[in-house]
Amino acid sequence: DGGLFSDDGTLMGIIQKTHVIAHMPAAVTFLGSELWGAMLYVDMCRERPEFDQVLAEIVEMLKNYEEKIVQMLGAPSPKFECLLVGYSKSRKGLARFIITNNDLNQLEKWKLVELEEDTINPLPSPEALRAVGWTFPDSFDVGREGKTIMQAQRLTLLPHKDGTIASGVGGFIQHTIIKCDQITTRIVHRWPDEVGKRLAPEAA
């Protein structure tokens, strides 16, 4: 998802939310204000040489960012969900985590939670999955099944601060693959979304 949305669901910009941290190797994605991702990306690249060090310090890092963001915005801290995927030397393999500062998805705030291998966030509604004709495939192709899942996410309308509901997925689909010795990332699909307008979820 490459959409950047206002409180009422209007598309404010099309932005790359997944940041690749090549030296670990790892990648980080934020749902919410782009300020969180920008701050964490810089710290991961400049201050911390290994993914395990980030995992040990991520809660303190994000809480420090929250203080700075509140000062910059002059407003309460914006909600976020942070997804981290990287190669962990202590685990000798890839590790996946999520952390948030809110309880919208029934996660404990400010707690690093390890994810299962297959995770979809945000979760599409059953109605949206039926609308796109989703069935569990024998093998998963990002350009085919990935696009179908994200089309279901676009059809799953979310509440916004002004009381309206709107889609929260737009812009493009970015596919990032992390291995112990390399990272690849590519844009596999773009939607015809226009900055300054609400999304048209039905648009393929």
Q: What tens digit of pLDDT does each residue of 7-50 get? A: 777 888 888 889 999 999 999 998 888 889 889 999 999 888 89
Predicted TM-score (pTM) of this structure: 0.82
| Cα torsion 139, 203, 131, 2: sign | positive
- Beta strands of 67-162 (E only): which ranges? 80-88, 93-100, 113-114, 158-159
> Are the beta carbons of 42 and 89 closer than 8 angstroms?
no
Vertex 149 angle, CA 130 and 139, to 5°: 105
In contact, 33 and 191? CB cutoff 8 Å: no
pLDDT band at 204 (very low <50, low <70, confident <90, very high): low
Nearest by Cα to 22 from 41, 35, 37: 41
Question: Is residue 105 over pLDDT 80?
Answer: no
What distance in Å separates the CA atoms of residue 19 and residue 29, rounded to the nearest whole number?
A: 6
The region of weakest confidence among 7-11, 89-93, 125-129 is: 7-11
Q: Tell me, what's the pLDDT at 83?
A: 93
Let me know: does 12 contact 4? Beta carbons within 8 Å: yes
Q: pLDDT at position 79, please?
A: 87
